[in-house]
Amino acid sequence: MLKKILFVPFLLSCVMTFAQSTQSAKIDSLLNSLYHKEMFNGNVLVAKGGKVIYRGSHGRANETTGERLNPETVFELASVSKAFTAMGIVLLQKKQKLAYDDLMSKYIPELAYYGEVTIKQLLQHTSGLPDYMDLFIENWDKSQFVTNEIIVSEFVKYKPSVLFHPGDRFEYSNTGYALLALIIERVAEESFSEFLTKNIFDPLHMNHTFVYRSHYAPRALKNYAVGYFTDSLDRKIASNSLAKDHYYYYLDGVVGDGMVNSTLDDLLKWDRALYTDQLVNSADKELIFQSGVTATGENTDYGFGWELGKSKKYGRMIYHSGGWAGYTTYIGRQIDHDMTVIVLQNNSSTLTYTPKNEIRKILYDEPLREAGLKPVKLTDDQMLQYVGTYFEPKLPLNINFFKKGDLLMIQADGQHALPLDAYDGQTFRYDPANIQLTFNLTTGTIAYTQGKANLQFTKKK
């Protein structure tokens, strides 16, 4: 009798392990496919209940040296950093060093000109303050670095107008988070980096997480991912080779809206800590993960450094994405089901794609593509049948199909080329934009669908 009782949980454990192994294999296959199409270059970690079910790397950390990514590689987090800035403010509030309803001008009196902007409005992007980047791109001496203090002095100098009265609406603001970092420094009387390290990174044993400005204060780092982005001519550029007049370079002195660097494992530690009272208590977390509300009563779906969402199937979603200097990042937390998805990429191009939705489908055993579509592998001769230029009389552009390696590519006039997935029935898809094309080689036409759009293109002779 005892053996039967023990056998059931053992069998359930085996079933769960097999299911997670299958999910891991599907995630790896998805990422391999995206990497092959130059749509992905980075690290991914997926966890259920804190248990890692996938942790992998695809691509290079440094294209010059050929160094490959590995799961311990460090990435710049871009705007995913904002959650740490917000937590810094919460920790100071808990120490009664400040209050959320305090006016910004209490700590940055130079900006009293902007009236009754509160710390909470800075946290929730309802301050109405304009983006500092535009001001510096237009007016700044590009041979000099910008810092948080300089943002204040330049706002005093130029007094750029507010976008709206504080609290009236939501407008995502890097300026707000740069000012929050400065408030942390002035209140704590130490650098933003020192404060986060002492109060967040060290207590959580996030030993590979730190504030780092690669141009403003460079230092030798091991196992570090170089960021790569494409310019207007689609040329790939390494962020560590920028000219000084590029805004990625001269804005590198600013912290708070970005500049936290981390790894997959450290971000999982951060995720797990947010389920506990290790840093803050339940009342604090209720505020952090609560939507802001505008003066008209509209929910902003943004809390303190986190975007918020909810669906019937997936439950509450706490997440943030980031993009800066070639880094494309994402952390998603499905807190009702305790699932975590972390994506860190060091490429930002027209093709770069964050497959968070596909990973979520895999976790919920949902199909990744339309029912009935069966992937096929085409020979070179078969693929060449689809090569050519097509037009639609009502549209002022052509779409061109060409072969690149073992992929069929689509490129509309004046736009970037996109890789297509091949299916049976002479059908191709580009899922990130929900594009489906079904060829009729006999008539030389294509049935093109994208969302609600249905068009027919004809091959040029």
Determine the angle formed by the axes of helices 174-188 and 148-158, rounding to 10 degrees: 120
Residue 60 to residue 395: CA distance in whole angstroms: 40
Q: Does 79 qualify as catalytic in the annotation?
A: yes
Residue 276 to residue 50: CA distance in whole angstroms: 12
- The half-sphere exposure of 41 on its side-chain side, counting CA atoms within 13 A, is 22
In the set 13, 29, 79, 105, the catalytic residue is: 79
Block residue for tokens 């899922």? 431
- Which tokens is 424 given? 């049976």
Say if residue 225 is exposed, middle or buried (CB neighbours under 10 Å; 0-12, 13-18, 19+): buried
H/E element, 229? strand 228-230
Q: DSSP letter for 351, please.
A: S
Alpha carbon 332 to its chain centroid, in Å, reads: 9
Q: DSSP letter for 225, please.
A: P
- Which tokens is 45 given? 């970690």
Beta-bridge mates of residue 321: 330
Residue 354 to residue 426: CA distance in whole angstroms: 27
Alpha carbon 335 to its chain centroid, in Å, reads: 18
Q: Count Cβ atoms below 10 Å from residue 385 Cβ, excluding itself.
A: 13
Residue 281 to residue 145: CA distance in whole angstroms: 38
Where helices occur in 364-400 by DSSP H, the ranges are 380-384
- The half-sphere exposure of 47 on its side-chain side, counting CA atoms within 13 A, is 21
Closest of 32, 50, 69, 9 to residue 271, by C-alpha: 50
DSSP string, 116-163: S-BHHHHHTT-S-PPPHHHHHHHH--TTS--BHHHHHHHHHHH-PPPS
Give the type of residue at 209: T
Tell me which residues are annotated as active site: 79
